[in-house]
Amino acid sequence: MSARPGEPKGDGITGFPFAPAREGSWKVTLPCTKAEAERIAEDIPELAPFDPQPTVMTSEPDPERPDDWQLDVYVEDEPDKALLTAIAALAPSAAGAKPVVTHIPEEDWVTLSQSGLEPIRAGRFFVHTPYNADRVPDGMTGFLIDAGRAFGTGHHETTTGCLMMLDKLRQSGLRFDDIADIGTGTGLLAFAARALWPAAKTIASDIDPVSIEVTAENAAVNAIPTGRGRGQVELAVAAGMDHRRLKARAPYDLLIANILAGPLIELAPVFADAVLPGGTIILAGLLDSQAEAVAQAYRRQGFYLADRIVRGDWPTLRLVKRRR
């Protein structure tokens, strides 16, 4: 998955997006504008030539100054002049500002990425790391999701919004039998859907093989069976719906996609073909400024906007396919 403002590329940990090398990792920080952060959310060609690929995160440090954002770029080795120049090109508004380069020792990563993450409450769900495994409140559904290699620990507003929307659907009495979670990251949303509708068949996919490895690990930790049967979660590595199992199991009555606005728009016809009339799509990973363009793409495919949950700048959309 690509980076979006407030979210590190390839992870769900605000501030520490990848496991560091033996000596630790490095962070480069610059101020940026909200407009620059939104552009970075779509594409980062300036960093494409570098290997290993830097990891990018943007954030809004002070809600009272909504146009003043911060750019953080994480790299495994100490950044050289070429990389610093490429990073500076991402934030033209910071011209003349000296990048702040910080070394992150390995022990800091372990401590901060785990113990520093507070549990997330979203509807009936309580998402936590091993450090908070004994804090699941009575009556809530707990998921242990380690801070690690894939996006979707629940600590980003997009994931939290999806969890809240799923819980809201269950509270309204809706039932789903065939569920797909596209761009699953850690598997969290697929696990939540299975918890709400345990008799359903669920499949979780991601374009990144590492995400599916992480999802399998998380399924084992949370005692969630994987497989093709009801009450199980099937796993697949796929770009969009491009997998024989995703196609074979369609049409779905619930499809979840927490990815990015551009791919959501591009995939609208494909997702529409994969959803039953009367079926539901939950879309997230888009900024509020992108919501109308995404919704319009699905209206053209016969959907109507049924609900939305907004957390900060991040809306979660629920669309329903019209019955013809």
Tell me: is residue 218 an annotated ligand-binding position. no
Which residues have CB under 8 Å from 173's CB, separation 6+? none
Tell me: is residue 142 an annotated ligand-binding position. no
Residue 59 parent element (H or E)? strand 55-59
- Do 261 and 287 contact (CB within 8 A), yes or no? yes
Alpha carbon distance 260, 225 (integer Å): 29
Residue 108 parent element (H or E)? helix 106-114
Token readout for 243 is 């997998």
Q: DSSP string covering 179-244, please?
A: EEEES-TTSHHHHHHHHHSTTSEEEEEES-HHHHHHHHHHHHHTT--BSSSTT-EEEEE-STT-SH
Q: Which residues of 180-202 are buried (b: 16+ CB within 10 A; e: fewer)?
A: bbbbbbbbbbbbbbbbbbeebbb
- Within 13 A of 157's CA, how many CA atoms are on the CB side? 18
Taking residue 94's Cβ as centre, other Cβ atoms within 10 Å add up to: 17
- Do 180 and 273 contact (CB within 8 A), yes or no? no
Helix, coil or strand: residue 48: coil
Tell me: is residue 43 an annotated ligand-binding position. no
Tell me: is residue 24 an annotated ligand-binding position. no
Alpha carbon distance 192, 311 (integer Å): 19
What is each CA distance from 8 to 37, 51, 180, 250, in whole angstroms?
12, 17, 24, 31
Binding-site residue numbers for S-adenosyl-L-methionine are: 159, 183, 206, 258
Binding-site residue numbers are: 159, 183, 206, 258
